[in-house]
Amino acid sequence: MTIPAIAANGLRKSYGDKVVLDGIDLTVAAGTVFSLLGPNGAGKTTAVKILSTLVTADAGELWVGGHDPAANPQAVRAAIGVTGQFSAVDGLITGEENMWLMADLNHLSRRDGRRTAAELLERFDLTDAAKKPASTYSGGMKRRLDIAMTLVGDPRIIFLDEPTTGLDPRSRHNMWGIIRELVSDGVTVFLTTQYLDEADELADRIAVLDDGKIAAEGTAEELKRLVPGGHVRLRFTDPAAYRAAVAALREVTPDEESLSLQIPSGGSQRELRAILDRLHAAAIEADELTVHTPDLDDVFFALTGGTGIPDQPKETAR
């Protein structure tokens, strides 16, 4: 068995009376993306802070990059990079100067530091902005600079704490490309996010954090199999047709206001035909029929009672 890049066993942390992490177990294989998914305040940042040695745990066995963060924080720090809500970017100096500072902190020679900085600025499309103060950068540019600064130390494990929160769709997709590139270089990524589509898109494994506990853990596909979220949705413009359909079909969840109804379904041809046959037999014509397969939204709502996840565009209809 290979040694995991990150492991936690029974991780606990409270602030006063508030239990933030209530016995968390997780394992992250080297070279994979692990996503800790949860709503605001779920404890994601606290978990990152503990694993990256910024905060000490109350209890639990931890293992990061071959070391125990509590016993050997320096060794853990040498193996990891952290970017996110507590960004290291200094807005008063230029992007390039931020990179040079990082090179100094990593004890690179002046020559190596300048070369590495130039290469990373180029890689993250920041060469043109390199001589401008970082305070003038857009949100996406700041995040890219933050990651570039982290990579100066060539970490094998990177913690990305909500790397795309607040970014526009284009910058989000850029960031996803950067994360994929890191993984293709063999880096292990520990990603926290409140976005289900982000976890679905990037993560090899996902843990859903809710109320200080891991509510479920697995691949996106495994998590989706946990919930019977699949359904067919029919929409009508004619109220009479809508009412006739509600009467004609079985297991219907009607929504009077939108003149639509849902029928649980795995979306197979046979199931669809059964629905269409019934509509046909009753001479009812729906104005719209969509098939929805379960997605991480369904998983999340089933597991957590639907607290606090922001609205996201649903792209599951076909």
Ligand X SMILES: Nc1ncnc2c1ncn2[C@@H]1O[C@H](COP(=O)(O)OP(=O)(O)OP(=O)(O)O)[C@@H](O)[C@H]1O
Report in angstroms how near the CB of residue 156 gets to ligand X at its nearest: 24
Nearest CB to ligand X, comparing residues 15 and 139: 15
Phi/psi for 204 (5° steps) reads -75, -40
Q: DSSP states of 15-76 as a string?
A: ETTEEEEEEEEEEE-TT-EEEEE--TTSSHHHHHHHHTTSS--SEEEEEETTB-TTT-HHHH
Report in angstroms how near the CB of residue 85 gets to ligand X at its nearest: 6
Report in angstroms how near the CB of residue 314 gets to ligand X at its nearest: 22
DSSP state of 293: -
Nearest CB to ligand X, comparing residues 44 and 233: 44
Cβ(241)–Cβ(227) under 8 Å? no
Nearest CB to ligand X, comparing residues 5 and 21: 21
Nearest CB to ligand X, comparing residues 42 and 296: 42
Is the C-alpha dihedral spanning 120, 84, 176, 32 positive or negative? positive
d(CA 120, CA 165): 23
Nearest CB to ligand X, comparing residues 63 and 195: 195
Report in angstroms how near the CB of residue 18 gets to ligand X at its nearest: 6
Report in angstroms how near the CB of residue 161 gets to ligand X at its nearest: 7
Cβ(190)–Cβ(222) under 8 Å? no
Nearest CB to ligand X, comparing residues 82 and 99: 82
Q: Which residues bind ligand X (CB under 6 A)?
A: 15, 18, 20, 38, 40-46, 194
Report in angstroms how near the CB of residue 15 gets to ligand X at its nearest: 3
Alpha helices in 56-205 (DSSP H): 73-79, 95-105, 110-123, 139-151, 169-184, 196-202
Report in angstroms how near the CB of residue 89 gets to ligand X at its nearest: 18
Report in angstroms how near the CB of residue 86 gets to ligand X at its nearest: 10
If one counts every other C-beta atom within 10 angstroms of the C-beta of residue 59, the result is: 12
Cα–Cα separations (whole angstroms), residue 263 to 130, 175, 258, 297: 55, 37, 15, 18
Nearest CB to ligand X, comparing residues 48 and 286: 48
Cβ(156)–Cβ(65) under 8 Å? yes
Nearest CB to ligand X, comparing residues 159 and 236: 159
**Residue of 157, 144, 161 lying closest to 38 (CA atoms):** 161
